[in-house]
Amino acid sequence: MTLVLRHSEISALLDRSEVFTAVERALTDLSTGAAENPAPSSMNGTEDGRIIPMVAQSGTAELAVVKVLSDLPGNRARGLPRQRSTMLVTSTRTGECVAVLDGRAITAIRTAAASAVATAHLARADSSVVGVVGAGNLAVEHVRALHGVRDLERVVVWSRSADTVERFRDSIADLDLKIEHAVSVEDVARQSHIVCTLTPSISPILLGEWLNAGTHLNVVGAAPRPNEREVDGAAIARSRVVVDSTATALSKSGDALLAIGKGAVDESHFDIELGDVITGRKTGRSTDEEITLFDSTGIGLEDLAVAELVIRRARAAGVGTEVDLTS
């Protein structure tokens, strides 16, 4: 039987602490060879859209996933989300289609969890001020995730919309953090120990010259396109860069590809994977003064780790619709 889960059902099942553990374990499996995550291809969609099939398999879970991510800028004019995704999970042992899942909640929460894993392994232990560039749902999820790995005291937030900042403030009120509305992205960078860029920016919104020694960055928001980025080449060049997957970063991260193309760095600057830092195969932060940067491209293996968690919880709770696709 195939389990079909809607967005609302998945949202109710997700536990952020369990997602953190699942994502960290998946990245460890990628480092040790217990899982595979090949670089995704990218196909033309309608108008200027891109269709990106993201695949991964876990030998530990005996599951594989294909997530079809659609990046469709034209959807804004239709009143629809720019990005939509659906996941198909199959058994690597029997070939059975185990589940079909809406991808929205899994993608948002696993993205924040991956940043939290990177922060746990790369940010200075005394980091207490987090800066967020962009104040939408992804910013809310990031502050909640980072609150679990560092003793945060203050959030510095910037957005073009004051209303969005107020909604952000209300959404994390239960965390009892001091929240400051920054006047600029530079203001965020200069005040924060941890900086998260969470915007669909096409050209750099954060410059390397603004970064303080010892800062950790999670660069998250740019669309999976080789010509779009949130940070400039100076930010990349000044930082020890860690990626979730080198192959994926060099195929769909505009932050990486444009820095390389403009001569700021070469491909070797992106050869440290987060899983290798977790397992100790490679060094993450080496000094308190070093700037570290997690170029978060997002990978199918992270989706699979969270999908496995959701499927298990759904079946235990009797949530979702079971369908016999073979009948």
Contacts of 156 (CB under 8 A, 6+ apart): 129, 130, 131, 132, 180, 182, 187, 188, 191, 192
Chain segment 221-251, per-residue pLDDT in tens: 999 999 999 999 999 999 999 999 999 999 9
Going by pLDDT thresholds of 50, 70 and 90, the confidence category of residue 97 is: very high
User: pLDDT digit string (tens) for 212-227?
Assistant: 999 999 999 999 999 9
CA gap 84, 52 in Å, rounded: 11
First-to-last alpha carbon distance for the chain, in angstroms, is 10
Which residue in the block uniquely carries the two structure tokens 């999820």? 141
What tens digit of pLDDT does each residue of 307-321 get? 999 999 999 999 999
pLDDT > 70 in the chain, percent: 100
Q: What does pTM read for this prediction?
A: 0.95
Position 25 scores a pLDDT of 97
- Kindly state the DSSP code that residue 174 receives in the 8-state scheme: G
Q: Token digits for 51?
A: 């269709």
Residue 206, φ and ψ in degrees, nearest 5: -125, 135
How much is the pLDDT for 20? 97
The pairing of beta strand 216-219 with beta strand 50-58: unpaired
Do 206 and 231 contact (CB within 8 A), yes or no?
yes
Residues 139-158 pLDDT 10s = 999 999 999 999 999 999 99
The DSSP call for residue 47 is: T
At 57-89, the pLDDT tens digits run: 999 999 999 999 999 999 988 999 999 999 999
**For the chain, how big is the Rg over CA atoms in Å?**
19
